[in-house]
Amino acid sequence: MLRLENKNVLVTGASRGIGKAIAELFAEEGANVIVTDINDESGDKVAAGIGGTSCYLHLDVGREDDWIAASEFVKNKYGGLDVLVNNAGIAGILETQGPHDPENLDINSWHKVHETNLDGVALGCKYGIRLMKNSLSGSIVNISSRSGIVGIPFAAAYASSKAAVRNHTKSVALYCAEKKYHIRCNSIHPGAIYTPLWDVMLGEGEQRDNAVKAISSEIPLGAMGEPKDVAYAALYLASDESKYVTGIELNVDGGILAGSAASPPNT
Ligand code: NAP
């Protein structure tokens, strides 16, 4: 028995990085995966690579009309939804004008980051709940960040949006429980996962190698993570193995949030 046998799953931002790893792993575990993104060319390729019952759909998570169209598509083609992974997100540094620090922040950029990272998740939960109400084992997995738990001085909008995702996850979890819907909702908090999201921060060539080494030296487990590390955590939360788990935050960060930075030296 595969871990997601015959479950209908929608993953946002799945044309690359963590979302792609989740889509591919879930399909290996028997799910019918709806790969969604704004990058249609890459998204199509991911869905084609998965094959079988999977498909690609354009979905800009910040747009409510896109969610309405996606809901119709899912109902017509798959009959309903069992799992939603709200993965799409932007750091904002590349996609918007700066600055992003609290003293000088550009308010339009602040709104754009929140539109994608927070409104995108809130809309996903809204339409995900409606699609999953009839499922006997619904699961919503929200990809927040380690930055939803600690601040980042020069990416304050990103940190704020991810903190809000962490909290909204708990409201959704309690709402669904009170309504007696069979829908659980949990957040994952990745840290330092090596994906294209880091490109603008790492540079190229030797500069990149040095930057990765410097980041790795500050991670308790000594290396940046892989997209699959997050995908396995999402698999647990999506599957019925986690049927008694709702409203939690699961860190996948090599131990960064364990707080080793200020620990006394071993004498
Ligand atoms: P990524 O490589 O940049 O992939 C993100 C994907 O989301 C891209 O395909 C992107 O499309 C898509 N996207 C952007 N805006 C969208 C929108 N409005 N609607 C739908 N799709 C959109 O990022 P990643 O590292 O895999 O990150 C995935 C999630 O994990 C994000 O929420 C991120 O904040 C979170 N996270 C990542 C890390 C990390 O270390 N990598 C750490 C903590 C949290 P385009 O290619 O067209 O831009």
Can you spell out the DSSP letters for 54-112?
-EEEE--TT-HHHHHHHHHHHHHHHSS-SEEEE-----STTTS-S--STTT--HHHHHH
Strand order, beta sheet including 249-252: 55-58, 32-37, 8-11, 83-86, 138-143, 183-190, 249-252
Q: Over 70: is that where the pLDDT of 260 sits?
A: no
Q: What is the tens place of the pLDDT at every residue in 25-54?
A: 999 999 999 999 999 999 999 999 999 999
Mean per-residue pLDDT for 127-153? Answer: 97
pLDDT at 166: 98
Query: Which residue has 């998204």 as its token pair?
Result: 43
Q: What is the tens place of the pLDDT at every residue in 183-202?
A: 999 999 999 999 999 998 89
Which of the following is catalytic: 56, 78, 127, 158?
Answer: 158
Cα Rg of the chain, angstroms: 18
Q: How far is the CA of 1 from the centre of ligand 1 (A)?
A: 31
Alpha carbon nearest to ligand 1 atom 6, residue: 13
When pLDDT is cut at 50, 70 and 90, the band that residue 262 belongs to is low
Atom of ligand 1 nearest to the CA of 117: 32
Q: Is residue 244 annotated as a catalytic residue, yes or no? A: no
pLDDT at 261: 65
> What letter does residue 225 receive in the DSSP assignment?
B
Tokens of 242: 């986690």
Tokens of 140: 């919503």
Q: How far is the CA of 262 from the centre of ligand 1 (A)?
A: 30
